[in-house]
Chain A
């Protein structure tokens, strides 16, 4: 991994030009929303990986890094849009520079271009998880177990494990599902074989008896054993004209025509007609009941959805689902429609024998159609073809129980055989009867050839079924074994992550959750995540814990995962607004956690919360002077701008020179609000609490002045008590100067006279406003050390105040009186 020394961003996203010196240390980017903080994170990610995750993913259809990474004014010049990152690679003990432009997005310049450096940076590019946003963080905590498993396994590079599981599952399901159709084919081909053999019971003895009679007629040796390789036509010399295809086997053809007659008779009779009418009446009754028909439609939809569910998404709306939950939900819905199910089932059961009859008719006609074409001259079986098409159509409708009205329509006429079909059947029978009878030998030969053909078809169907059954058995066994082994292994991995997570979370919440526990439980395709809620049991993180706690959990889980992945090599993480909702009471603990558990990791963090920034400073997570940048605002021309105490007065002066009082007033007001907040914080000034955190200048500056004045008074009293009269005098002078400066700024007047408020500054004339600026500049200077220019602050940060100091210690005013 790496650590960032500095970053230089040009014409990139919302940033025109920005250079930050991070010096391999933790670094915070603070500022209100919309001031360009995330632009810096984008730049780091872009430099290291060539992509920006915020510009990809769901909902970012037409947005791309290539087109939208450049600053909006530099879209036509992507070469200008660049990020230059100077990094340190701890494992190599080397520094390097990576420069990436949007134009050369896939070919960054690396200096020095040593193989080991290039390899290290390529490694980083393959680990974009160094950057974490709050949105990403939540996916580990709040997502469904299936989705969480996907995300975490992807992070741990274990997604291949899940992919293999899915593949094995799919193969197992596919082979299992193919079996019923193959069983049906085997039965159908066996029945055809029995018809050709003219026997009713399928057994070796029956087959051999029937076959050997014909073989004897042909003078062929009897077959003793009937096994999988037996050829019942063995010994027959091939016919000169290609055998059966050029000649009608008269006996078999007449038998087949009889079967067709029988099938039609079974279908087209008064009994079936009565049955059809009865079913139609039942359907009509259901159709008349709106509720019943709606429930049947629903029930059917649920059944289809269950059948079509691919273990991932709802087949209707593509919503991701955990398989178990999806099935449970649909089954519970189906259960509520028990009455509808019963009605539909009654209809389906009543129709099933009719479908079987239709299938029999359908199966018998292709053979007799073939005979028609073999006649001289050939007869075109158009009537059969049309009839079969109608049967096919009716069968489709009868099988579609979702369309109950369609089922009813199909029942209208299936019991009537078209007259042209019976006429053609009669003609065909006459024509074949008129054919000369084959000799006994020809008949026997035709019999054996046809039977062999059907035997081979049956054997193939049997082989296909056996193969599918075997494959289903193999794939099911392998899938189950894989699931068992992988679950055991993942349990071991997740146990390590779980322990680490619990340790980190307890460290943050040691005050009230020091016995906190969690369970990361992998199961096939899922990763359950439950946490203990104050000893009351285990619940999903989102069940009872606050959002702040959930954020903390997300962060701890992420850190635990990173620790597992990188161990000692974990040296760099970018946290983009990750701790947005961590409650104030735990921010310091988070800072301490980073320092304690990850002392060698460089954290780069963004936040819009100044208090959080303060916590980082106070806890020493970031350097007080150089460890952060504070963006004050953003505009499209300049990008983010930061508060710089040295420049703000020059900036205001510049605006006044242009006679732009409005801009100068706005700048002064914004700056005073910012700096007053700093003063109040550092001096522990009492401020009326506002729940919305929206403090105005009037809420802050008078309190800061009053507080400093009070501290100086206390300082004077303390020094007097110790007999340090000269020091006490200096402090008193300082207090008086502050009071004079305060009077000059007329701050009390602004406060009490609502007619002339800070908001009115913008209406001033340049000459009226200049003295206001001068007076405030002087007032502000009293809050700083004249030597180091650092702001004065009270120590310690919490508890009984001891002293008022600056960072160079030139100002060090004791606040404790001598006790007698």
Chain B
């Protein structure tokens, strides 16, 4: 058990979240034409925890997002 119980549960839940989204991103990255998109999404969603529309649009369409 880690230092405190709630942190343990939060880590567990975060891990569930990251695993779920991570699996999707792994599959996406396996498709060559979507590899860059997968990396950008990984950086934003898992790395920074950002799911806003503007950020996701940018990750999906790159500089064409606007």
Contact = CB atoms under 8 A, between A and B. Distances in A.
Interface of A: 1, 89-92, 116, 119-120, 122-124, 126-127, 156-158, 160-161, 163-164, 167-168, 170-171, 467, 471, 474-475, 477-478, 481-482, 485-486, 489-490, 493, 565-569, 571
A471 B64 contact: yes
A171 B57 contact: yes
Nearest to B33: A474
B3 interface: yes
Nearest to A1: B5
Contact of B3 (A119, A168, A565, A566): A119
Given A156-B13, A160-B51, A120 B6 contact: yes
B56 A89 contact: no
A486 B24 contact: yes
A475 B58 CA distance: 12
B56 A123 contact: no
Given A158-B17, A164-B56, A171-B60, 4 more contacts: A120-B4, A167-B51, A485-B27, A565-B13
Nearest to A479: B60
Contacts of B45: 160, 164
A157 B10 contact: yes
A485 B64 contact: no
15 contacts: A91-B2, A91-B4, A119-B4, A123-B4, A123-B6, A124-B6, A158-B17, A168-B56, A171-B53, A471-B64, A474-B34, A485-B20, A486-B20, A567-B12, A571-B5
Interface of B: 1-10, 12-14, 16-17, 19-21, 23-24, 27-28, 34, 37, 45, 49, 51-53, 56-57, 60-61, 64
A481 B7 contact: no
Contacts of B8: 91, 566, 569
A312 to B, nearest CB: 15
B37 A478 contact: yes
A744 B19 CA distance: 76
Q: What 10 pairs across the A-B complex have the smallest Cβ distances? A: A123-B6, A569-B5, A120-B4, A485-B24, A157-B13, A489-B20, A1-B5, A91-B5, A566-B9, A164-B51
Contacts of B3: 91-92, 116, 119-120
Contacts of B60: 171, 471, 474-475, 478
A161 B28 contact: no
Given A126-B10, A493-B16, A161 B21 contact: yes
Given A89-B4, A120-B6, A160 B56 contact: no
Contacts of A481: 24, 27-28
A458 B51 CA distance: 36
B5 A90 contact: yes
A566 B5 contact: yes
Q: Is the interface of B mostly helix, strand, loop or mixed?
A: helix
A474 B61 contact: yes
B7 A489 contact: no
For A156, A171, A568, the residue with the greatest tally of chain B CB atoms inside 10 Å of its CB is A171
Contact of A569 (B9, B51, B53): B9
A171 B56 contact: yes
Contacts of B17: 157-158, 160-161
Given A163-B51, A478-B37, A569 B6 contact: yes
A571 B5 CA distance: 9
B10 A116 contact: no
Nearest to A123: B6
Nearest to A163: B51
A486 B19 CA distance: 10
Contacts of A168: 56
Given A474-B61, A475-B60, A565 B12 contact: yes
A10 to B, nearest CB: 27
Contacts of A120: 3-7
A685 B45 CA distance: 66
A775 B15 CA distance: 68
A566 B20 CA distance: 19
A116 B8 CA distance: 13
A363 B28 CA distance: 45
A481 B20 CA distance: 12
A375 to B, nearest CB: 40
Contact of A467 (B20, B28, B64): B64
A484 B39 CA distance: 19
Contacts of A568: 1
Contacts of A489: 19-20, 23
A764 to B, nearest CB: 59
Nearest to B6: A123
Contacts of A482: 24
Nearest to B41: A478
Contacts of B53: 167, 170-171
Given A156-B13, A565-B12, A478 B28 contact: yes
B5 A123 contact: yes
B1 A569 contact: yes
Contacts of A122: 6
A92 B61 contact: no
Nearest to B5: A569
Nearest to B64: A467
B37 A126 contact: no
A490 B19 CA distance: 11
A154 to B, nearest CB: 11
A794 B9 CA distance: 46
